[in-house]
Amino acid sequence: MSGLVAETGGDMETSHIRIFPHSQKEFPSEDSLTTWLITSLRGRGGVYYLRSADAVKVLPPGSLVLFRYGQKIVGEAIVWKGKEVFSEKVRDRTLNGEEEEYGAQVTLAPSSVRLYAPPLPVDRIQPHTEKDLVKYAGAYVELDWAIYPRILAEVISRGVFIL
C-alpha cells in the first residue's frame, strides 16, 4: 500500500456529521450497499476509501458518517481515524469487480456500523437543515450535530437499527 499522510487541518478539529453518497454504478441496489456496509466494511476493519482526497476537507475522529443511497439514508458509522491521504493513488476493486483509483481513506469503527430499517428518506431530514439535501444527492454534505437527535427520533419512530 502507498504511504498515508494524515490530514488534521489544525490543532483539534471538531467532530461533525457528514453524508457519504453512494453511486448506482458502484452499488447497483440499496441492498448491495447495505450488505457491503455490514459485511465487507466491517470485515476490512472499517477502512473506507474515498475516490478523491478532496471529497471531504477533514473528517476528525468522533465524526458521524451517514450512508446515503439515492434519496435515503441507509445507516451510519463513527469515524475512528480521520482522513488519510495516499501519497500515491491506491487501486482496488469495486463491488461489481471494476478496478478504481482512490486518493484517501477514512477508518470507521467497525462496531459502530449500523443500518436503519427501514432507511430514512432524506426529505424527513430536509426540514431541519438549510442545506438542500434533495437537490445535491451526490455531495458530501456536512451537517450540524443539532440535527442528530432528530435523525434518531425519525429512525426509531419508523423502525429499528440493525447492528
pLDDT in tens, 95-136: 778 898 999 999 999 999 999 999 999 999 999 899 999 888
The domain tally of the chain equals 1
pLDDT score at 19: 96
Look up the pTM and report it. 0.89
pLDDT beyond 70 at 11: no
Contact 107, 59 (CB under 8 A): no
Taking the C-alpha atoms of residue 6 and residue 58, their distance in angstroms, rounded to an integer, is 10
What is the grid cell recorded at 53?
A: 482526497
CA of 140: how far to CAs of 21, 33, 48, 54, 65, in Å? Answer: 6, 17, 14, 10, 10
Q: Which domain holds residue 156?
A: 4-162
Instruction: Give the pLDDT band of residue 12 (cuts 50, 70, 90).
Output: low
* Percentage of the chain modeled with pLDDT above 90: 70
* CATH number of the domain bearing residue 94: 3.10.590
Instruction: State residue 9's pLDDT score.
Output: 47
